Amino acid sequence: MSSDMGTVDLDQSEVPAEPEHPGRPIGAERRSRAVDLLQRLSEANVLVVTVCAMVAALVVGALLILCTTPAVLQAWGHIGSNPGHAFGESWTTVAAAYSSLVEGSIFNPHAQDLTQAFNPISETLVAATPLMLAGLGVGLGFSTGVFNIGGQGQLIAGAVAALWVGTEIKAPLGTHIPLVILAGAFGGAVAGFIPGILKATTGAHEVITTIMLNYIFLDLLDWLLTISPFQQPGQSNAISKTMPSTARMPHLFGSTLRVNVSLIVGLAMALVIWWLMRRSRLGFSFKVIGLNPDAGKTAGMDARLISVLVLTISGALIGMAGMATLSGTDFLLSSGYGGNTGFNAITVALLGRNSPGGIVLGSLLFAALISGGRNMQAVTGIPIDLTTVIQAVIVFMVATPALVREVFRLREARGSQARIATKGWTV
Amino acid sequence: MSLTVEEGEIHGLLGENGAGKTTLMNVLFGMLRPDRGEIRIGGKPVRISSPGDAVHAGIGMVHQHFMLVDVFTVAENVVLGFEPTKGKVFYDRRKAAANIRRLSQEYGLEVDPEAVVEDIPVGLRQRVEILKALERDAHVLILDEPTAVLTPQETEALFRIMRSLAATGRSILFISHKLKEVREIADRVTVMRLGKVVGTTTPAESSEQELASMMVGRSVSLTVTKGPAVPGDVVLQLSDLTVADERDLIAVDGVDLEVRAGEIVALAGVQGNGQTELVEAITGLRHTLRGSIVVAGKDLTHATPRQRLHAGVAHVPEDRQKDALVLPMQLADNLVLDMYGDAPYAGRASRDLRAVKKNAERRVEEFDIRAGSVDDPVSSLSGGNQQKVVLARELGRPVKLVVAAQPTRGLDVGSIEYVHKQIVAERDQGTAVLIVSSELDEVLALGDRIAVMYRGRVMGVVDPSVGRERIGLMMAGITGDAAPAGDGVPFSAGMGGAGS
């Protein structure tokens, strides 16, 4: 469950003669390499399902664009007199929309200088960073059978802790940023530990407690922003102090591009989680408890301790997401900080199938749709909500592999049953 | 393959796990489509492409794992999908209950229509499944391993029901790998091996031994060959052990028991008399209320499962798929599920995957585990091989005490033979072994001493030579020599209720 990316070797050791099919021609057993490759492609493995889901989402998006653009509708109204015009208008509209999506998220060829041209990809990476960190936290929970819906609250807790260390602590040169990073992780860890210990000692389900804690942290933030030492001096608005320059993440490629060191933090965490789940002792017990808690307990694992640890680590990662935006781009906190990042992280984790590599790619895709969508709205006037629809369709299709197989006529991957990204709630 | 079942006949279908019994059933019930051939009922060919078609064609199926809604009543489960209604809208509870009472009486299937399924014992749930098939007017009834979950007494009751059903002209296909039962109940027996019919015979023509050889394709020993035990020091000492179950009722009530090095103590008893809780207390999965558990001189009464593991306690759980294996995980990982964090399988923080793999390759060789590769998920292995994985893990390290619950449940003849051999070999190395089994044959074959449990107490510890009669009576709570000569009557009352 933890790392399903690149599962292409689905059908080795599957060739032995099947006695139930005596009528099958013998030659059929010997398939050529090319046939084999085609077969693998037509089987619904994780990568193929994801790509197909994206294609389907773009098609749905194109149809929506066509239905909502007045010029296109007008052209189709006169289809009898000028059919070429209807098709032409449709094509140009969709092409303009999607090329502005790409130009807004990856590379802008019309920019005046090179830095400007690379600004879209920089913005995509900036938007991807918190999604990556929070997605890793949520995904870690999912692969251990823990449903951490408290991303919003943990993100705020991490950001507040990072803000306090950033604004109140005087640290020697070069150590301030590491301290801020640790503070973000610590704040989130505390916020994750609370539902963890509640689950272990009282059996309270983490879905309920984490959702409730979201409200608590949202209101706690509103209150903190009005008191010392958090509120910006001389302000009556609920706005925090500003992070000093020593606590701000250095930019990676010059001062105009906002992409900064927090991206490196995100990628490093992905590596850490990969190691944790694939190579470490602790991660092995996480996986076992996630897949079969009864067998884990029989084998001497402490399931309650593990759920506390998982929620704490998950919270720490999400707390770092709050730290990343605070210290990387925003530099101050305001009411409702983090917005929907905590919830989008759930989507990213689903999209990445809980594997660190998948979550990194998922967060990039999500961020590209966000930054590209803004550009699309600015250039073509198509509302940014359309990209939300595209996101939704992708996730919808990824979460229902059976549907993708049906739409694209894929065969079920042999040797592996359709994997659903999350199991039911385990109370 | 071809198979004919006559009207009013009880036809036994025998075969090892993986012989194709389940595939055949799935074809009959419309879950799989046949590549070739046809199915005829009453001489007419029928096409069955869904369970709905099968029901229409008059085929009823009782699955090994019951398909019941636990929180519904018996009546609701039986009529599910065919509910009698008042005014086409409202569910007619009274009519449903009346239907069931009528069917119950007709075939001797006593069950309370208003009882909630989760509250009734397994034996009664099975009756509900049979009632379901009858309510849908099944002429051909397929029973898949129906006795696997039943006590000997419940099995007797089931056999009576099967006979009364056959007497009304219904045909019954009884699928099993228990030779004794098939010989007892079936009019004719068909043996399958590797997807083919090996032969059809009658119980009168073939002995158990002959049927077993047909199933496995070679001769198998049904008895366990073992020398006399050489008991050493006491390894497991239970004193006044008292344990509660999930509902806080006393399940194990002041048990005193000793198991010595180099002997097998077999714990007999009808399921649900505290054996499960006793095993869980010994292995640390259940809290001990009173008394003590001492293993090799060390008090483990309140030790964690991990501490017990390191003290040399091996545990072969009753339900291997639920408690012993992580099915989607690799074979190699499952083989170190308990020792994954210890040398040589892990360093301070990271696991040594090479050592894990090397261990797996050695165990696969040693315990003859049939698997494609050590990287395959355990779910791809057959039941017998899954149990070998558990044994390889638990016996592969130096242990002082082995606690094995129902070690051969659901296994085929060949695997049972293998598991028994391994357990005896472990004993001969000087390990103390505690076996829990609800199969009297297994208890008698394996045990050097037999302890019988009834309602949470040990009724006595006896030598296997006292015979099944006496042990059977002890299982029903009757001790002493004054007990009536057993013909099964004394323990038919109330036994069904004991296992819930």
Which of B24, B331, B337 is the mutation pick for testing A, counting most A CBs within 10 A? B337
Q: What's the mean pLDDT in A232-254? A: 92
Distances (CA, A) of A76 to A94, B101, B295: 14, 68, 85
Residues of chain A with Cβ-Cβ distance to B304 below 8 Å are 300, 302
DSSP string, B280-292: HHHHTSS-EEEEE
Min CA distance, A344 vs chain B (Å)?
A: 28
One-letter amino acid identity for B359?
Answer: N
Whole-angstrom Cα distance, residue B19 to residue B143?
A: 17
In this prediction, residue A36 carries a pLDDT of 67
Given phi > 0 = left and psi -120 to 50 = alpha, else beta, which region is B87?
left
Q: How close, in Å, is residue A11 to chain B by CA atoms?
A: 12
Instruction: Using the structure block, give the residue that is written with the tokens 């001493």.
Output: B449
Share of chain A above pLDDT 90, in %: 58
Closest Cα to residue B141, out of B107, B109, B172, B108?
Answer: B172
Within 258-287 of B, beta carbons closer than 8 Å to A belong to: 283, 285
- Cβ contact, residue pair A275, B350, below 8 Å: yes
- Please, is A242 exposed, middle or buried when counting C-beta atoms within 10 Å of its C-beta (0-12, 13-18, 19+)? middle
Nearest CA in chain A to B343: A281
A286, containing H or E segment? helix A281-291
CB contact under 8 A, B322 and A294: yes
Query: What global pTM score does this model have?
Result: 0.76
Q: Does A292 sit within 8 Å of B322, measured CB to CB?
A: yes
Which of A214-232 are b and which e, b meaning 16 or more Cβ less than 10 Å from the residue's Cβ?
A: beebbeebeebbeeeebbb
Element (H, E) at B10: strand B10-15
pLDDT of residue A418: 38
Residue of A nearest to B309 (CA): A300
Cα–Cα distance for residue pair B386/B391, rounded to 1 Å: 9
**Cis upstream peptide for B344 (omega within 30°):** yes
CA distance A24 to chain B (A): 10
Give the gap in angstroms from C-alpha B319 to the nearest C-alpha of chain A.
Answer: 10
Q: How far apart are CA B360 and CA B398, in angstroms?
A: 17
Q: Check residue B179 and give its pLDDT.
A: 79
For residue B449, what are the β-bridge partners? B265
**Distance, in angstroms, between A4 CA and closest chain B CA?**
13
Per-residue pLDDT, B335: 95
Q: Enumerate residues 378 to 437 of chain B having a beta carbon within 8 A of any beta carbon in chain A.
A: 380
Within 8 A of B376 by CB-CB distance, chain A residues are 13
Judge: A296–B326 Cβ closer than 8 Å, yes or no: yes
Contact B128/B11 with Cβ under 8 angstroms?
A: no
Look at the block and give the residue holding tokens 């808690």. Answer: A293
Provide residues of A within 8 Å CB-CB of chain B.
Answer: 1, 13, 19-21, 23, 275, 279-282, 284-285, 287-288, 291-292, 294-302, 415
Q: Do A19 and B195 touch (CB under 8 A)?
A: yes
Put simply, the answer to whether A13 touches B317 (Cβ < 8 Å) is: no
Between strands B449-454 and B457-462, the pairing is: antiparallel
- Report chain A residues whose CB lies below 8 A from the CB of B387: none
HEC string for B373-421: CCCCEHHHCCHHHHHHHHHHHHHCCCCCEEEEECCCCCCCHHHHHHHHH
Q: What is the CA radius of gyration of chain B?
A: 24
The minimum CA-CA distance between A287 and chain B, rounded to whole Å, is 9
| Residue numbers in B near A299 (CB within 8 A) | 305, 309, 337-338
Interface test with chain A among B350, B352, B387, B390, by most A beta carbons within 10 Å: B350
Contact B279, B436 (CB under 8 A): yes
Alpha-carbon gap, residue B209 to B218, rounded angstroms: 10
Q: Do A299 and B305 touch (CB under 8 A)?
A: yes
Q: Which of A37-51, A145-159, A364-378, B217-231 has the highest mean pLDDT?
A: A145-159
Residue B328 sits at the chain A interface (C-beta within 8 Å): yes
B197 at A interface, C-beta within 8 A: no
Amino acid at A330: D
**Among B residues 18-37, those touching chain A with beta carbons less than 8 Å apart:** 20, 23, 35-36
Helix, strand or coil for residue B101? helix
Question: Helices (DSSP H) in A69-205: which residue ranges?
Answer: 70-77, 83-105, 114-142, 151-168, 176-202
Residues of B in contact with A302 (CB under 8 A): 304, 306
CA distance to partner chain A, nearest, from residue B344 (Å): 12
In chain B, the residue whose alpha carbon lies closest to the alpha carbon of A278 is: B351
Contact of B322 with chain A, judged by CB distance below 8 Å, is answered with yes
Residue of A4, A13, A281 to mutate, testing the B interface (most B Cβ within 10 Å of its Cβ): A281
Q: Is B323 on the interface with A (CB under 8 A)?
A: yes
What pLDDT is stored for residue A319 in this prediction?
Answer: 98
Q: Are A303 and B285 in contact (CB under 8 A)?
A: no
Note whether B306 contacts A: Cβ–Cβ < 8 A: yes
User: Distance from A22 to chain B by nearest Cα, in Å?
Assistant: 9
Residues of chain A in contact with residue B372, where contact means CB-CB under 8 angstroms, are 13
Cross-chain Cβ contact B328/A21 below 8 Å:
no
Return d(Cα B196, Cα B1) in angstroms, integer: 6
- pLDDT (tens, 9 = 90+) of chain B, 500 residues, equals 777 888 888 999 887 666 677 778 888 888 777 777 788 887 788 888 888 888 888 888 888 777 888 888 888 888 887 777 777 778 888 888 888 888 888 887 888 888 888 888 777 888 888 888 888 888 889 998 887 667 677 788 889 889 988 998 889 999 887 778 888 899 999 988 777 888 888 888 888 778 877 877 666 656 788 888 899 999 999 999 999 987 788 889 999 999 999 999 999 887 778 898 999 999 999 999 999 999 999 999 999 999 999 999 999 998 888 899 999 999 999 999 999 988 899 988 999 999 999 999 999 999 989 888 899 999 888 888 999 999 999 998 889 999 999 898 777 778 888 899 999 999 999 999 999 987 778 888 899 999 999 889 999 999 999 887 788 778 777 775 544 443 333 333 333 333 33
pLDDT at B467: 82
Does position A164 have pLDDT exceeding 80, yes or no? yes
Using the Cβ of B341 and the Cβ atoms of chain A, whether some distance falls under 8 Å is answered with: yes
* Percent with pLDDT over 70 in chain A: 86
The model's confidence at residue A26, banded by pLDDT at 50, 70 and 90, is very low
For strands B196-201 and B39-41, give the pairing.
Answer: unpaired
Q: In this complex, which of A1, A282, A288 lies closest to B337 when CB atoms are compared?
A: A288
Neighbouring residues of A41: CB distance < 8 A, sequence distance ≥ 6: A48
Q: What is the ipTM of this complex?
A: 0.78
Residues of chain B contacting residue A300, judged by C-beta atoms under 8 Å apart: 304-306, 308-309, 338
Confidence of residue A15 (pLDDT cuts 50, 70, 90): very low
* Calpha distance B222→B441 (Å, rounded): 10
Across the interface, do A280 and B333 touch by the CB < 8 Å criterion? no
| CB proximity list for A426: less than 8 A, separation 6 or greater | A145, A293
**CA–CA gap between residue B420 and residue B224 (Å, rounded):** 7
Cβ–Cβ below 8 Å for A295 and B337: yes
* Cβ within 8 Å, pair B305-A297: yes
Q: Is B338 on the interface with A (CB under 8 A)?
A: yes
Residue matched to tokens 């055949």: B24
**What is each CA distance from B420 to B226, B402, B404, in whole angstroms?**
10, 13, 11
Task: At B302, list the tokens.
Answer: 């309140």
CA atoms within 13 A on the CB side of A227: 6
